A = this chain, B = another copy of it.
Amino acid sequence: MTASETPAEALPDPAAGPEAPQPTGPVNRRLLLAERPVGKPGLQHFRIERLPIPEPGPGQLLLKTEYLSLDPYMRGRMNANAGYTEPVAIGGLMVGQTISKVTVSQHPDFAVGDRVVADAGWQDWLLSDGRGLRKLDPAMPQPTLALSALGMPGLTAYVGLLDIGQPKPGDTVVVAAATGPVGSAVGQIARLKGCRVVGIAGGEDKCRMAVEQFGFDACVSHHDDELPRLLAEACPDGIDIYFENTGGAAFEAALPLFNDFARMPLCGQVAWANATSLPAGYDLTPRVMRVFLHRRVHLQGFIVTDHLDSRFDAFLADMSAWVAEGRVKVVEDIIDGLEHAPGALSGLLSGYNLGKLLVRVEDTPPDAPLPPD
């Protein structure tokens, strides 16, 4: 694990000010979307709401959030046009996947102390009827892995690289955001399959991590103006699989290196997540399509949730073994305190995190004094 260097400012809590009364009993803090950001999201786009902790009735259970996953897709959900799914409503709870613990249960399938993966969103507590929960093996040494290598990011890497990318030994695989939970899994699985793996990441520290901790053959920084030349030098045999999770400079540097019959699984474009307009200058579309045509590129856009039913079991079996054997490593970047989630998300979109970004919520119980501003 790596200590976070994310400059995550805390969301001001109206109840925590010197004039406001301290809460006297347990409450459920909920982080709501206050307004839709234009460009980068900041604290001003969120607000905090404090509600009583709900009480489970028959067939229900109460979940305490332990860890909240922060992921690039969240930025898209803050827009009015979220794309492939519904946006978060103004005044609505921010969405997010969590590791949660059952604290009260009137549900036959769940016992107090069970840990689950839930879509609890950005809040301390969730009242659930059990639907959509996935129980974790109590023997699991590091439950947070269910939000990274053994969860959605890992499945994204697995489906995109293996099902779409169809790697063959000796292929060159390029992936950006190389130290993130998706990119690092892509690179490590590709190495297991006998590929040469080249990462693109933001800065020297991340590049070093990609090579030294995740075993990439090489990694180049997208902060370097010479990225196209550096990437070409790192890929002397061209690129067979370009795993696209960022767009932007990484894509533009990779495109001219595509080999015949290259594959391009496409799961994200975080480089453009905060863009408020299309890049000015020239339309690169004709050049992009020319490469796709001449190199007979296979591009497949995909969203991980489409593949849960068909691939999760196989993925979990393979990936659990690889993690247990130490062949797939995970680096986590953990922020303490739900109130820091907005700042941490903003930092994630700027690439400040180093590894899988999580918010630890369990250490801020609702009846503890809230932190000062």
List residues of chain A with CB under 8 Å of any chain B CB: 83-84, 244, 247, 251, 260, 266-269, 272, 275, 277-290, 292-303, 306
Contact = CB atoms under 8 A, between A and B. Distances in A.
B269 A279 contact: no
A182 B214 CA distance: 48
Which of A260, A268, A290 has the largest number of chain B CB atoms within 10 A? A290
A297 B294 contact: no
A253 to B, nearest CB: 13
List 6 tightest A-B contacts by C-beta distance, closest first.
A83-B294, A278-B282, A84-B294, A299-B299, A279-B283, A293-B301
Determine chain A's interface SS by DSSP, over half rule.
Answer: mixed
A303 B260 CA distance: 11
Contact of A266 (B267, B278, B282, B292): B292
Contacts of A281: 280, 282-283
A301 B306 contact: no
A260 B84 CA distance: 9
Given A247-B285, A286-B272, A293 B280 contact: no
A277 B282 contact: yes
Contact of A279 (B244, B247, B266, B282): B282
Most buried by B among A269, A277, A283, A296: A283
Contacts of A244: 289
Nearest to A269: B289
Contacts of A272: 286, 289-290
A298 B300 contact: yes
A286 B84 contact: no
A309 to B, nearest CB: 15
